[in-house]
Amino acid sequence: MTAALAHARSVAATVTDPELPMLTLADLGVLRDVALEDERVVATITPTYSGCPAMASMRDDLVRVLRRSGFADVEVKVSLDPAWSSDWISARGRAALAEAGISPPGPAPRRDGPVPLTLLPVRRALTCPRCGSSEVDLTSEFGATSCKALYSCRSCREPFEHVKEI
């Protein structure tokens, strides 16, 4: 790897997610690749969910930060395959989520065939990110952003968000 490519990668790796600013795009697993084509930096990102409204922000943030570091020519590409998985959130990203009061995801389901129907509430072994209690209740599988479910803690009585496994 050239010094220029290493520099571009380290700069791109500092860009944070617009909706989860405690995470970098790299820690979230959304930044898939940074390459150098002659003078041009080509960064590739993938949406967490199909309707992610933050793709334009992420693109602009990458372009801005890379330009500020001296890369005049920046292109941001989109990748859809393979589809984003919560398994791609790094260990550092999981720690940052927990630190910010958001419960990190467990392992994503691995499926080859049809997705089985689940009529009972999803059961996850997780703990309250505030007090550590495992006495938690699922409030809703849908939260303030596509990637999160809502929980409440029976011990400290606080609500919290959990990043869903996909």
Partner 1 sequence: MNHHVNDYDADHESVYDGLLGGDASQWAFGTDFEDPLAGMDTSVPAGLDAAELADLCLRLGDDALVYSHRLAEWCSNAPDLEEDIALANIALDLLGQARLLLARAAAASPGLVPVLPEGSPVPVEDRLAFFRDDHDFRNVRFVEPENGDFAVTITRLLLFATHRLAVLERLRAHPDAVLAAIAAKGVKEVAYHRDYGGRWFVTLAQGTDESRRRLLAALETVFPLYDELLATGVADVRDEVEVVVDQVLAVAGVERPDVKPIGGARHTEALSRMLAEMQVVARAHPLGVW
**Helix, strand, or coil here: 86?**
helix
- 93 backbone dihedrals φ, ψ, rounded to 5°: -65, -40
Rounded distance between C-alpha atoms, residue 38 and residue 143, angstroms: 43
Find the binding residues for partner 1 in span 30-89 (CB under 8 A).
42, 44, 47, 49-57, 59-61, 63-64, 75-84
**Helix, strand, or coil here: 87?**
helix
Question: Which of partner 1, Zn ion, none binds 36 (CB below 5-8 Å, type-dependent)?
Answer: none
Burial of 163 (C-beta count, 10 Å sphere; 0-12/13-18/19+):
buried
**DSSP class of 155:** T
152 is a site residue for partner 1 (CB under 8 A): no
For Zn ion, which stretch binds (CB under 5 A), given 79-87, 89-97, 100-108, 146-154? 146-154
Nearer to Zn ion, 54 or 128 (CB): 128
CB 135 to Zn ion: min, Å: 8
Among 128, 147, 149, 163, binds Zn ion (CB under 5 A): 128
Residues touching Zn ion, count (CB under 5 A): 7
159 is a site residue for Zn ion (CB under 5 A): no
- Which residues sit opposite 152 in a β-bridge? 137, 159
137 is a site residue for partner 1 (CB under 8 A): no
Tokens representing residue 125 in the block: 């072994």
12 is a site residue for partner 1 (CB under 8 A): no
